[in-house]
Amino acid sequence: MRLRDKRCLITGGSRGLGRALVTTFARHGARVAFTYSTHDGDAAEAARLVEAAGGAASRVFKGSVADPAHVKATVDALAAEWGGLDVLVNNAAVTQVLPISLLEEADWDLVMDTNVKGAYLMTRAALRHMIRRRAGHVLMIGNFASERVIEAPAHYAASKAALRGLTDALAREVGRHGVRVNLLAPGLLDVGMSRALPQHRQDEYVARAPLGRLGRAEEVAEFAAFLCSDESAFTTAAKVVVDGGL
């Protein structure tokens, strides 16, 4: 119960790693809210799993993290209902597995708007409440693609690398206000982007990773819960890679 009574907002919480995050945080005692953009059935299932994990009925918000109006409405609603926000997890992300020669400008913009602009908008909105209370934690979900030399879609890798710089700069800017900012970079998991990769690419990853397997979303979610807890109160500006040793 390392997150008991923490008020947590997780973006992109309906599927994949996001779903593991919302259920794990609920199991650790957090009050959980999450956003999603398109899949209503998946969002309903994630909310059900939160309750099954012992959490209160989660607050669910549909919209794009790249939409300033949606972001402001979401954070303001939670702040009004909960009296503040303790944790923000910027997990929402999109990608396409395409070589750069086939990337259209619209593809680049979609990934950058969701993965980078979305994190900026959500963080800016959350920080206004955290700084006022002089406490809070922002966790960026990066990716091993920005940390290791391994083949990955160029626009996706670039967007995740941008989060590294955002983490470093923000941690130094808001630390004096009692707010921590960290980045967690998972390796290839059994959910999410791996589903779009051909089997031989997954096999290559497994062959190169010292642990010899893909990661499990629940393993990463447990690490995220630790980073967002008071147990890691002296940790900020950290960029932690959890990729099986790649």
Q: Which residues does 178 contact at the CB level (< 8 Å), separation at least 6? A: 130, 133, 134, 135, 136
Res 200: pLDDT: 81
Contact 42, 14 (CB under 8 A): yes
Q: Is 140 helix (H, G, I), strand (E, B) or coil?
A: strand
**Following CA atoms 232, 235, 239, 241 in sequence, which dihedral angle do they give, to the nearest 10 degrees?**
-30
Task: Classify domain 7-242 at the CATH class level.
Answer: alpha beta
Q: Which residues does 105 contact at the CB level (< 8 Å), separation at least 6? A: none
Query: Which are the catalytic amino acids?
Result: 156
CA distance 33 to 14: 11
CA distance 195 to 118: 23
Q: Which two tokens stand for residue 55?
A: 């959490």
Contact 214, 202 (CB under 8 A): yes
Tens place of pLDDT per residue across the chain (246 aa): 899 999 999 999 999 999 999 999 999 999 999 999 999 999 999 999 998 887 765 799 999 999 999 999 999 999 999 999 999 999 999 988 888 999 999 999 999 999 999 999 999 999 999 999 999 999 999 988 776 656 778 898 899 999 999 999 999 999 999 999 999 999 889 887 777 677 887 888 889 889 999 999 999 999 999 999 999 999 999 999 999 888
Residue type present at position 89:
V
Residue (of 14, 57, 58) closest to 36 by Cα position: 14
CA distance 142 to 185: 4
CA distance 166 to 245: 24
Rg (Cα) of the chain, in Å, rounded? 17
CA distance 244 to 188: 9
**CA distances for 42 relative to 45, 90, 231, angstroms:** 5, 19, 32
pTM: predicted TM-score of the whole model, two decimal places: 0.94
Q: Provide the H-helix boundaries in the chain.
A: 16-27, 40-52, 68-82, 105-112, 118-133, 154-174, 199-208, 217-227
Res 56: pLDDT: 67
